[in-house]
Amino acid sequence: MTAQHDTGSSGPGPGSNGRGSGGAGSAIQDPGDLAARVGQRRRELKLTQQEVAARAGMSVPYLAYLENHLATPTGAALRQLATALQTTPEALLGAADRRAPGPGPQSERPRLRAIESAECYELLAAGGVGRGGFDTTDGPVVLPVNFGMAGHTVVLRTGADTELAARLDCRVAFEVDRLDEALSRGWSVLIAGRATRVKKEEQVRRIESHTHVEPWAGGARDVYVQIHPHRISGRRIGV
């Protein structure tokens, strides 16, 4: 992302009437997917637009505009919004996608605790992106994969010509984590189990209707894989 000094922003301004722009400040030239990130972060915190707007000192119409349009807020407005959403301007702009997560400092008095298995499954229930680890002839491999959950079973989709498909009915490790860099906190869940292919058509249809796993990689991903946990553990770090 690039930045330049500007005298305002495009779209409704942060003032109470939701129109115009205010004051000199550093504006983001290329907002990218700012709208999606603002809305996603607000929903993660379970906040209403009214609550975020009040925290950021901007009008509700302006916040709604930011969540639904390609806008270029001033640097000051972006910093206020990031503070209200307990994150950083860089995270809202997607700059963090260019580096590995977690380079920031630790929080004050960090506390690491184990997560019980029931809570681990609750954290995984919504699905998302995890990392599958398995052995190959060239050594261990860890790959990011989209996943869903069918009860306590992890469900993946892969292609018939992939390394994972060629090595099914094998022992695997599966890990999922979530990090909040702004607050230096997060959690991770680790599963050890066995990966098997779903072969019965009726079982495939049932899994499709319940998990809706859509691999980001696209292409033909017609092999459904189940990971049956033998062991699950988790850790959470916070204050």
* Mean pLDDT along residues 35-64: 92
Place of tokens 């702009």: 93
Cα–Cα distance, 98 to 127 (Å, whole number):
24
Architecture of the structural domain at 3-98 = Orthogonal Bundle (1.10)
Query: What pLDDT does residue 61 have?
Result: 92
One-letter amino acid at 44 equals E
Residue 14 has phi, psi (to 5 degrees) of: -75, 0
């499709």: which residue's tokens?
A: 208
For 103-122, how does the pLDDT look when each residue is reduced to its tens digit (9 = 90+)?
Answer: 555 556 678 899 999 999 99
Q: What is the mean pLDDT of residues 179-198?
A: 85
Which residue type, as a one-letter code, is found at position 236? R
Residue 175 reports pLDDT greater than 90: yes
Classify residue 94 by its DSSP letter: T
Two tokens, residue 219: 């292409």
| Rounded-to-integer distance, Cα 57 and Cα 48, Å | 14
Element (H, E) at 175: strand 170-180
pLDDT average, residue stretch 166-179: 89
- Whole-model pTM: value is 0.58
**What is the pLDDT, as a whole number, of residue 101?**
56
**pLDDT grade, residue 205 (50/70/90)?**
confident
In the chain, domain spans: 3-98, 111-238
pLDDT of 26 reads 37
pLDDT at position 15 over 70: no
Proportion of the chain above pLDDT 90, given as a percent = 33
| Average pLDDT of span 162-166 | 80
Bigger pLDDT: 19 or 212?
Answer: 212
pLDDT at 121: 96
Q: Which CATH architecture has domain 111-238?
A: Roll (2.30)
Between 130 and 166, the more confident residue is: 130
